[in-house]
């Protein structure tokens, strides 16, 4: 039993309906999954259970997780934590789902005059290709002023950053990304980048006046009009 931390003279144990004595389950979509958490401690006095998924609390007070219809977002790292008085035990269980990638475009950010648009690709089976589009036309990096940086964050997260140095107002538009793996191609996710957003970090050079120090006094009579020329 791997992925277990013992407390005292007893250990945490995980079993599932798709393969006992293992800390990994590889599933098809819509399968049924049950993960049971138990302990070798004979006494159940003051015994509490807590489940986490990807380090976030998912369920408290029950010794099992029951997923009747497995979806793509059920994949991840599950942790069962057993507490008894001052004793603490934990077990890890990894759920892998055979599915195409799922993509999400996050809000762009700016770093040293470079606009960065992150595309998050979720899924255990990593993409073999990530394609970017602007206004539904494919972006080919390097020859268009764009650069793409891909980074494998962890077992379930892959990030593709679309980068544009010295962005200008012409870079506004509807951006989208899609990812492909051995199970297929993800639906595209879109994010509109407005001129207002780009203008918030683009600093255009102000126009200079030809006559910087020339001063003209103009007297205007009440009720009359005149024109001034600024050069």
Q: Which residue has the higher pLDDT, 150 or 212?
A: 150
Instruction: Give the tokens for residue 149.
Output: 């940086």
Q: What are phi and psi of 58, to 5 degrees?
A: -110, -40
In the predicted structure, residue 2 carries a pLDDT above the cut 50: no
Query: What does the pLDDT average to over 166-193?
Result: 94
- Provide the β-strand partners of residue 93: 78
**pLDDT 10s digits, 89-133:** 888 889 999 999 999 999 999 888 899 999 999 999 999 999 999
CB 141 within 8 Å of CB 190 = no
DSSP 6: -
Q: Which of 7-16, 89-98, 130-139, 214-223 has the lowest mean pLDDT?
A: 7-16
Share of the chain above pLDDT 90, in %: 49
Confidence (pLDDT) at 8: 46
User: Could you tell me how many residues make up the chain?
Assistant: 231
- CA distance between the termini of the chain: 81
Calpha distance 121→184 (Å, rounded): 13
Confidence (pLDDT) at 5: 45
Q: Is the dihedral of CA 35, 154, 55, 184 positive or negative?
A: negative
DSSP per-residue string spanning 94-161: EEEE----EEEEPPPEEETTEEEEEEEEESSS--SEEEEEETTEE--SSSSSEEEEEEEEETTEEEEE
Domains of the chain: 12-97 (2.60.40.10), 102-206 (2.60.40.10)
In the predicted structure, residue 86 carries a pLDDT above the cut 90: no
- Provide the β-strand partners of residue 103: 121
**pLDDT 10s digits, 35-65:** 888 877 666 677 888 999 999 999 888 888 8
Confidence (pLDDT) at 144: 78
**pLDDT 10s digits, 125-157:** 999 999 999 999 999 877 678 999 999 999 999
């Amino acid at each position: 039993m791997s992925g277990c931390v013992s407390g005292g003279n007893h250990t945490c144990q995980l079993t599932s309906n798709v393969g006992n004595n293992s800390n990994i389950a590889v599933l098809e979509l819509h399968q049924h999954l049950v993960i049971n958490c138990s302990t070798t401690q004979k006494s159940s006095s003051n015994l509490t259970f807590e489940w986490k998924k990807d380090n976030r609390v998912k369920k408290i007070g029950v010794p099992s997780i029951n997923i009747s219809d497995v979806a793509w977002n059920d994949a991840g790292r599950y942790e069962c934590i057993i507490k008894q008085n001052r004793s603490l035990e934990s077990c890890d269980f990894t759920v892998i789902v055979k599915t195409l990638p799922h993509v999400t475009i996050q809000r762009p950010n700016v770093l040293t005059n470079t606009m960065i648009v992150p595309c998050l690709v979720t899924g255990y089976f990593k993409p073999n290709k990530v394609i970017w589009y602007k206004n539904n036309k494919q972006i080919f990096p390097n020859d268009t002023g764009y650069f793409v940086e891909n980074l494998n964050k962890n077992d379930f997260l892959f990030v593709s950053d679309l980068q544009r140095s010295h962005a200008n107002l012409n870079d506004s538009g509807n951006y989208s990304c899609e990812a492909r793996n051995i199970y297929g191609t993800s639906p595209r996710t879109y994010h509109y980048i407005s001129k207002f957003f780009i203008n918030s970090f683009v600093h255009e050079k102000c126009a200079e006046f030809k006559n910087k120090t020339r001063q003209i006094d103009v007297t205007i009579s009440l009720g009359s009009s005149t024109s001034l020329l600024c050069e």
